[in-house]
Amino acid sequence: MDDDPSVVASLGLLLKQNGYPWDSAGDPAEALDRLAAAKFDLVLQDMNFTRDTSGREGLALLGEMRRGRPDVPVILITAWGSIELAVEGMKAGAADFVTKPWSNEALLQSVRTALSLAASSREAASRGRAAPDRAELERRYDLGGIIGTDSKLLRILELALRVAATDASVLITGESGTGKELVAEVIWRNSRRRERPFVKVNLGGISATLFESEMFGHRRGAFTDAREDREGRFAVAHGGTIFLDEIGELSPASQVKLLRVLQDRTYEPLGSSAPRTVDVRVISATNRDLAQAVASGEFREDLLYRLNLIALHLPALRERPSDVPRLAASFLERFGQAYGRERLALTPAAVAWLARRDWPGNVRELRQTLERAVLVVEGERIDVADLEGLRELETRHEADDELPAAGRMTLDELERAMIAKCLDRYRGNLTRVSEALGLSRAALYRRLRKYGLDPSRSS
């Protein structure tokens, strides 16, 4: 709906060329009448029309359409300077927004995504609210390495799989270690882009000064050390999917640059003035509360709405304790094969002990616990005493003020640093090293192989 004939003609031609039948309305009353009288699958609505330039009339019309036909998605069209207005529209129920002057490909992608999501929602509604069946999901989709039958996990997984066939941007939230990257991979594996690249980017490891070069690439001579052209992550991901992990760590300046490429689907490599078009599906993840970050001014609200067309929140492991035994068995099998200890098994008491724990580090912590057990425990059974001993050892080492701060390292990095320090301290004497760490010689050798440490090292 638009009152500018040139805008209507341009949109109509674009839609017709891409196989979408269309109709138009010149004012709010006509738009509501047409929507009530005929079957429409989608509405494209300009936010500024007639003599109203504030967008209030556009928001009022959006509200009327959502109340009358909540099943019909609405995509808003607005000027770049009115992004705040578009965000208000998203809060009021709009499916997406496109800024003028628009990119044809970006607009068409928004149309395709909105139509696909609406069809997916209708399909889900027809099946009712029953918890999905794991076997049925496995029959229809590639679930990758995701393990579990808990209903909370399966509902999130089902939604992820339903939207995988669309190009909708997805924001995955959850505590550290809950498997956000695994879910992103499952979405990619079940999408139409599965034969194209899946590019992972840890935004927490990219400084604001390097953001443009890393993400958009650079041309030779763009800065002092730019000795040759370099493709950025978006260019590598072209045609595929880009996974932006730790999205909540982006600096304000980087947020603006990312919003531009997500909005226009174009960017300019550093040192170039020639825009490049990119076709990517964006999946992002964070363990931060982005709504709170928006409220405190640390994260742009318009970027949040661009990223979370679909929001998936993964449950913590403590919220699905019934999955712990399955996960533990899987990790034990994997690491048993990796370290030549296939006969190693958990006692029933050990399984129960694992299921009772809170696991603040979630699935990642459980996996590391099972790997340590395979490396350290002697014999063919892992019992409660073994697991408690591992936990006590880990706590003691974390409290050692001579060791690197655990809060700044992963558990594997901490363990490696711990063994390296002991090798230095005891000048490669493995008997003293194993005694100091509370490990048998065999367990110490397994860890030395795992971390590629030289037993003869000394200060």
Q: For residue range 303-350, list pLDDT tens digits in order.
A: 998 898 899 999 999 999 999 999 999 999 998 988 888 899 999 999
293 and 366 share a domain? no
Burial class (CB in 10 A: 0-12, 13-18, 19+), 130: exposed
Q: Which of these three, 107, 123, 139, is where a domain ends?
A: 123
Q: Which of these three, 253, 281, 315, is where a domain ends?
A: 315
Whether pLDDT at 277 is above 50: yes
The angle subtended at Cα 142 by Cα 311 and Cα 278, nearest 5°, is 55
Q: Which of these three, 82, 106, 123, is where a domain ends?
A: 123
The domain that holds 229 is classified in CATH as 3.40.50.300
Domain assignment present for 459: no
265 and 375 share a domain? no
Name, in order, each residue with C-beta under 8 angstroms of 415's C-beta and a sequence gap of 6 or more: 372, 397, 447, 451
Domain count for the chain, please give it: 3
Distance (Å, whole) CA 433 – CA 427: 9
Host domain of residue 429: 318-451
24 and 93 share a domain? yes
232/455: higher pLDDT: 232
Domain assignment present for 457: no
pLDDT score for 406: 41
252 and 364 share a domain? no
pLDDT band at 3 (very low <50, low <70, confident <90, very high): low
Average pLDDT over residues 207-224: 81
243 and 269 share a domain? yes
Name, in order, each residue with C-beta under 8 angstroms of 400's C-beta and a sequence gap of 6 or more: none
Domain assignment present for 185: yes
Tens digit of pLDDT for each residue in 98-152? 887 787 888 888 898 888 888 877 776 666 556 678 888 999 899 988 999 999 9
Domain assignment present for 458: no
306 and 179 share a domain? yes
304 and 165 share a domain? yes
Whether pLDDT at 219 is above 60: yes
Tens digit of pLDDT for each residue in 42-68? 999 888 765 555 667 788 888 998 888
The domain that holds 25 is classified in CATH as 3.40.50.2300
pLDDT band at 402 (very low <50, low <70, confident <90, very high): very low
> pTM for this structure?
0.76
Average pLDDT over residues 409-419: 72
425/296: higher pLDDT: 296
226 and 245 in contact (C-beta within 8 Å)? Answer: no
- Percent of the chain past pLDDT 90, that is, above it, reads 36
Distance (Å, whole) CA 207 – CA 219: 19
pLDDT score for 396: 55
Average pLDDT over residues 339-363: 92
434 and 442 in contact (C-beta within 8 Å)? Answer: no
Report the DSSP beta bridge partners of residue 202.
Answer: 245
pLDDT score for 102: 80
- Percent of the chain past pLDDT 70, that is, above it, reads 88
112 and 95 share a domain? yes
45 and 149 share a domain? no
Whether pLDDT at 371 is above 70: yes
From residue 346, alpha-carbon distances to 160, 319, 350, 357, 391 in Å are: 33, 22, 6, 16, 16
Tens digit of pLDDT for each residue in 170-208? 999 999 999 999 999 999 999 999 999 999 999 988 888
Domain assignment present for 88: yes
Does an H or E element contain 111, and which? helix 104-127
311 and 322 share a domain? no
71 and 146 share a domain? no
The domain that holds 367 is classified in CATH as 1.10.8.60
Choose among 265, 318, 314: nearest CA to 109.
265
Average pLDDT, the chain: 84
The 3-class secondary structure across 411-459, one letter per residue, is HHHHHHHHHHHHHHHCCCCHHHHHHHHCCCHHHHHHHHHHHCCCCCCCC
245 and 205 in contact (C-beta within 8 Å)? Answer: no
pLDDT band at 355 (very low <50, low <70, confident <90, very high): very high
Amino acid at 194: R
Domain assignment present for 38: yes
- Per DSSP, the three-state class of 207 is coil
251 and 365 share a domain? no
